[in-house]
Amino acid sequence: MTQPPSLALPSSLPPAAPPAGDWNEPTAGFADAPDARLIAQMANALFAAFPGQSAPSIGVAPPSVPVIEAAPTGGLVPPGIPAPPSVGTVTLVPQMPQLGPLAAAPAAPPGNPAAFPPTVAPGESDLRGLPNILGSLVSLVPPGHEAGPTAPQGSPDIPEAAVPSLPAMPQGLPQARPDEGYSFLDDLHPSAEAAPRPIRAEPSVMEIELRPDLVPDLRDTSAHGGAFDPHSVKRDFPILQEQVHGKKLIWLDNAATTQKPRQVIERLSRFYEHENSNIHRAAHTLAARSTDAYEAAREKTRRFLNASSTEEIVFVRGATEGINLIAKAWGARNVKEGDEIVVTWLEHHANIVPWQQLCAQLGARLRVAPVDDSGQIILEEYEKLLNPRTRLVSLTQVSNALGTVTPAAEMTAMAHRHGAIVLVDGAQAVSHMPVDVQALDCDFYVFSGHKVFGPTGIGAVYGKKAILDQMPPWQGGGNMIADVTFEKTVYQPAPARFEAGTGNIADAVGLGAAIDYVERIGMATIAAWEHELLDYGTKGLLSVPGLRLIGTAKEKAGVLSFVIDECRTEDIGKALDREGIAVRSGHHCAQPILRRFGLEATVRPSLAFYNTFEDLDALVNALLRFQSGHGGR
Catalytic positions, written as ranges: 589
CA 454 to chain CA mean position, Å:
10
- Could you report how far apart the first and last alpha carbons of the chain are, in Å? 58
47, 48, 43, 38: which is closest to 157 by C-alpha? 38
Residue 482 to residues 321, 472, 477, 478, 500: CA-CA distances in angstroms? 24, 14, 10, 9, 12
Torsion angle, alpha carbons of 350, 353, 358, 364, to 10: 120
Rounded-to-integer distance, Cα 321 and Cα 446, Å: 9
Rounded-to-integer distance, Cα 580 and Cα 576, Å: 7
Rounded-to-integer distance, Cα 332 and Cα 326, Å: 9
Burial degree of 3 (CB within 10 A; 0-12, 13-18, 19+):
exposed
Q: Please, which residues bridge with residue 220 across strands? A: none
Residue 556 to residues 16, 298, 398, 407, 607: CA-CA distances in angstroms? 54, 29, 8, 11, 12
Rounded-to-integer distance, Cα 110 and Cα 59, Å: 33
Rounded-to-integer distance, Cα 341 and Cα 335, Å: 9
Q: Can you tell me whether residue 394 is helix, strand or coil?
A: strand
Query: Please, which residues have CB within 8 angstroms of residue 388's CB and are 6 or more apart in sequence?
Result: 418, 419
Helices (H), ranges, 348-494: 353-362, 379-385, 408-417, 437-440, 465-468
- Whether omega before 495 lies within 30 degrees of 0, making that bond cis, reads yes
CA 575 to chain CA mean position, Å:
28
Helices (H), ranges, 85-228: 129-138, 184-188
Q: Can you give the three-state secondary structure of 119-132, one letter per residue?
A: CCCCCCCCCCHHHH
Q: How many CB atoms lie within 10 A of CB 528?
A: 15
350, 297, 298: which is closest to 325 by C-alpha? 350
Rounded-to-integer distance, Cα 446 and Cα 388, Å: 25
Q: How many CB atoms lie within 10 A of CB 319?
A: 27
DSSP assignment letter at 604: E
- Whether 567 and 573 have beta carbons less than 8 Å apart is answered as no
436, 362, 433, 445: which is closest to 396 by C-alpha? 445
